Amino acid sequence: MNSIQIIKLLMIAACIVMTTAVLTIASQTGDAVTHGNVIEAEVNDFEQLKQIIEKASKEAREKGRMSINIHLAEDPDMVQPADLVAVDYTVFDSRGRIVYATQPEMFAHIDVRYRDPFAQAGAATGSETVLAGFAGLFPGSGQAVLGLRKGERKTVMVPADKSFGPRDEKKIKTYSRQRTFPRTAVIPVDAYIKTFDDTPETGQQVRLSPYFSSRVTGIKDGMVSLENIATDGDIVEDDFGVATINVENDRIVITLDPVIGHPFKVDDNRGIISSKTDTHFYVDYNQPLAGEDLRFDVTVRDLKKFSTFEKIEIPWIEDHETAMDLAFQEQKPLVLLLYADWCQWSQKMLNHTFKDPRIKRFHDRFVWLKIDSDKERMYKTVFEQKDFPMIVLMDNQGEILEKIGGFQDGGTLSLKLDRVLAGKPLEEQTAIHTANPSASSAQHCQSVN
């Protein structure tokens, strides 16, 4: 890969991760104009910007230049990529049902099928701050504001590829409607203790299955004998339908009758029962809105241009005592980042999350402390850190408000910082619905002891 290719990829990546310190975005669609080695362009979407960069890179290679310069004009009144926008919106599916809303009066009317995935916290967030053109807390919200002006209200259609993406037929799984159990069962004592958190005793009754109880009939040679107790013809209600019990000699047969449209959960996977036959039923594990174009009713409450945050940097302090003293003196809450130089997720937080305008807007509202706790391991112990990175939110007295493990994107972290400043309990935070939200269990570096 030559230098021009590297520059091209870095510039496209820069647009995606908000490190576009040299870019200001334009007001209306237009062609790029070249003045010497500088390209001046007007754009209002990333596809056009990408095309301009690709064209400029190609021309630079042909002329033997090793760098390209792009200056993009800015419209102070129009929402353009990477602008910071305070917005209210209501989302509708293709049938006109309310999916999600930021305001209480609309949030209360979310359709029943969307209350579980999108209204878990039970309360509206109020106006949301989104980064125009990027994924918001609800997929598509960042796209829906592009081209609008402050105070403008508009209905915008956001295609599936800009919201929850396409449907995947491979995510539809098949399950048998019949389940068979023996009348008697034998399991190891340690498995019994692990399952029921109790020591087995003869005559004790437990539930190996949600459809019937089991009785301990004997304990011998490290094994527990159980008799499964079921009544022929019983009907048991389940979360997703009903189950009919048939007792046949040495076995118990459970026949499930699932209800189409009901949620179905296996381990951590949640799906919707989509269809059934006499012998099987099918569960769709696609996100409920995958493949759907969504309608957003959007109102722009406030607009801050990207250039407002271009030169702002997070004022990091690297000494714990200095930061704590400053937090107390200025009566500001504190953000502590515990990181490791070698951890890619730590570096992504430093180079992406903390350069996000949604975070930069808080630059003077918090005291910012970062510590390489892989080198200063005392802090890793004090804060009971397991993996890298970790965010610790504290009040101005040094009391811990919350510890957040793993990588956090700008939208996720900014919502928490908003709640700290508002004095709201962090555990009551409204669920985040991004297509790819921060997943601390996956996006972290394992600690090396």
CATH number of the domain within which 154 lies: 3.10.50.40
Residues 338 and 228 in one domain: no
Residues 64 and 116 in one domain: no
Residues 225 and 211 in one domain: yes
pLDDT, tens digit, 9 for 90 and up, residues 108-144 = 999 988 887 787 667 788 899 999 988 778 889 999 9
Q: Which of 34-43, 338-347, 371-380, 413-422 has the lowest mean pLDDT?
A: 34-43
Contacts of 35 (CB under 8 A, 6+ apart): none
DSSP summary character for residue 149:
B
Are the beta carbons of 99 and 91 closer than 8 angstroms? yes
Backbone angles phi, psi at 292, to 5 degrees: -105, 135
Cα(323)–Cα(367) distance, integer angstroms? 7
Among residues of the chain, what percentage have pLDDT more than 90? 62
SS3 state at 141: helix
Residue 425 lies in a domain: yes
**Number of folded domains that form the chain:** 4
Are the beta carbons of 153 and 127 closer than 8 angstroms? no
Query: Is the pLDDT confidence value at 191 over 90?
Result: yes
Residues 65 and 115 in one domain: no
Whether the bond into 389 is cis, omega within 30 of 0: yes
Residue 79 lies in a domain: no
Give the pLDDT mean for 311-325: 96
Which residue bears the tokens 């801050």? 304
pLDDT, tens digit, 9 for 90 and up, residues 140-187 = 999 999 999 999 999 999 999 988 999 999 999 999 999 999 999 999
Residues 342 and 390 in one domain: yes
Cα(341)–Cα(343) distance, integer angstroms? 6
Give the pLDDT mean for 276-293: 94
Residues 144 and 234 in one domain: no
Cα(113)–Cα(259) distance, integer angstroms? 14
Query: Is the pLDDT confidence value at 49 over 70?
Result: no
Residues 316 and 440 in one domain: yes
pLDDT confidence band for 58 (50 / 70 / 90):
confident
Query: Is the pLDDT confidence value at 10 over 70?
Result: no
State residue 70's pLDDT score: 59
Residues 316 and 409 in one domain: yes
SS3 state at 223: strand
Residue 47 lies in a domain: yes
State residue 449's pLDDT score: 65
Residues 125 and 240 in one domain: no
pLDDT confidence band for 291 (50 / 70 / 90):
very high
Residue 352 lies in a domain: yes
State residue 169's pLDDT score: 94
Beta bridge partners of 200: none
Looking at the chain, how many residues does it have?
449
Are the beta carbons of 114 and 69 closer than 8 angstroms? no
State residue 290's pLDDT score: 92
Domain that holds residue 60: 3-72
Give the pLDDT mean for 389-395: 97
Cα(263)–Cα(112) distance, integer angstroms? 12
Are the beta carbons of 18 and 83 closer than 8 angstroms? no
Residues 176 and 117 in one domain: no
Residue 218 lies in a domain: yes
State residue 35's pLDDT score: 43
Cα(127)–Cα(131) distance, integer angstroms? 13
Are the beta carbons of 117 and 433 closer than 8 angstroms? yes
Residues 347 and 372 in one domain: yes
Query: Is the pLDDT confidence value at 323 over 90?
Result: yes
DSSP H helices in 276-409: 306-309, 320-330, 344-351, 357-360, 377-382
Are the beta carbons of 112 and 263 closer than 8 angstroms? no
Residue 278 lies in a domain: yes
Are the beta carbons of 411 and 139 closer than 8 angstroms? no
421-426: long-range contacts, CB 8 A cutoff, minimum separation 24: 421/333, 421/362, 421/365, 426/393, 426/401, 426/402
Residue 78 lies in a domain: no
pLDDT, tens digit, 9 for 90 and up, residues 216-259 = 999 999 999 999 999 999 999 988 899 999 999 899 999 999 99
Residues 240 and 258 in one domain: yes
Q: For CA atoms 192, 196, 199, 205, give the dihedral sign.
A: negative
Q: Which of 50-64, 307-321, 370-384 has the lowest mean pLDDT?
A: 50-64
Give the pLDDT mean for 387-406: 95
Beta bridge partners of 237: 242
Contacts of 52 (CB under 8 A, 6+ apart): 32, 39, 41, 43, 70
> Which of 314, 366, 379 lies closest to 340 in space, CA to CA?
379
Residue 77 lies in a domain: no
CATH of the domain at 328: 3.40.30.10
Query: Is the pLDDT confidence value at 79 over 80?
Result: yes
